[in-house]
Structure 1
């Protein structure tokens, strides 16, 4: 098809040839696609290309869409884009895909090639298996070796020969910018809070993922083949670059003592924490490696890594357990979870799960506080246990407005105004907390911004 269009539309061939020279490897092509896909929907349009900072000429845009937009829907996905930039490799791989009808066949083919069982296949291993000819091997590595390390792992292999994987992972990861986002999404998907995701949970969680896409996620992520994905496996899928880099770094340590020694050498000011600057200056890590360590290891997002975080990331290639960023303070006889700083305050009225944050309330609040707000969660239930909406007597007991009002007017608001210097207050209510939020909103002097 590409050769035929190049004959019938020669200017397109010239334009693509010029573009290909500017982006000589597959990794650069993939990065270009992400830059052009402004709305992160997995497709690029002519409008997006025209608005990009790369300054494509109208002829170049028309050429790419003439060659890539096969179904003429006005949009090009990643696979089509790669097909335009690497037409010969794409043609060969498309021919290979016809040999594999499902995910299991692709995984069996990978296992057959990976003779040393290290989870990676090299060109030498491919030549020895007599399954692919030299042209096919070159095409597989051109399209599959996305990190240009000379080897292809299972994720890369499946992504080339079973492209629904690449499409699924693009949908899964489009809003994942760092490990904290991946951890947050995992907890949202883990409805039964057992620390594991099953295919059935993903089907029932209200996502738009198809059965094939869910199957693709599990084919890549379920490393121990137990039928479920834990947090570490999930992060490996959502942030593969960071975990790959950490695995490479941690291979240089012989044990925890080596890790501690390395930490002490980097901690030049001996404050028990290392900053990005310290790590870059007093280690052999490059910028990519430093970023990966902080992306995975800085669990509390304070911009520094303590010894526990450093050991955690180096021994597991995954983040240590989530730690709350705020503190519990007492105002009068009421406990309040306080996080963040600023003159703009948000009162978060908790739901039936209560003040303790058992349902990720505090994690949500910590995330919001990072945007520059002071967030407070008053313990509206006091010493009462959490309950259920089905228990009407319990609901009545915790919904006594006169008690809540007195606590607010006499204790919390004066403390905000006089002690914390708050100038404007907004309220947020979730579940039962919507009741308290609406009541608090009746005070004009309180809710300047809601």
Structure 2
């Protein structure tokens, strides 16, 4: 077996079966490249709503259980598998986009939750819709839909059996939660700049550009520029790192050709 190492941007990753997917190099490269014009993250604020407080409390409780991630490299190697799993979620999104508008409105999200047996009240569904409708256009796009489902996964109390009736996707969500827990070293429910830089420096020891990469990635996550990243901010950035947006753009181009 070839024991050479493949270099992705400023990361040096071991060749393995998890990175043989032809998209894996591009997925990982998305992590080390700077934002392009038009990619700026929308602004958010420190927790001010009941839902935000609940997410923070639940995350802190989850963090007390620890994480299976050993290094940031472990997370990077999971990018291709996570990407493949999340793209399968597109069928669920399209199923509940009943008017085929390309987004899910409040009524459609309510129907989605009922069909997936997510036992949220109407008020809770309204709150999570507003929390993730970043553009305030009364429509949830595919990326926002994934963030909603991952937040639901975190918040669901029933840990027996499946939380949403989609166990394969829930395994992916657990990996995403685990990744956040790994980064949040002091377990306060937020990822700080120092925590992000420290995690990447451990992976890219001795490489001059590692600090710059860490700062770029942190700035992508820290929408409100307060120096702290909550779980929702992390999720929106994470979907970009794995290449999900690139896959969406490719699908649109193929449709238009």
- Same fold at TM > 0.5: no
The structure with higher relative contact order (CA 8 Å, sep 6+) is 2
Which protein has the bigger strand share?
A: 1
Larger radius of gyration: 1
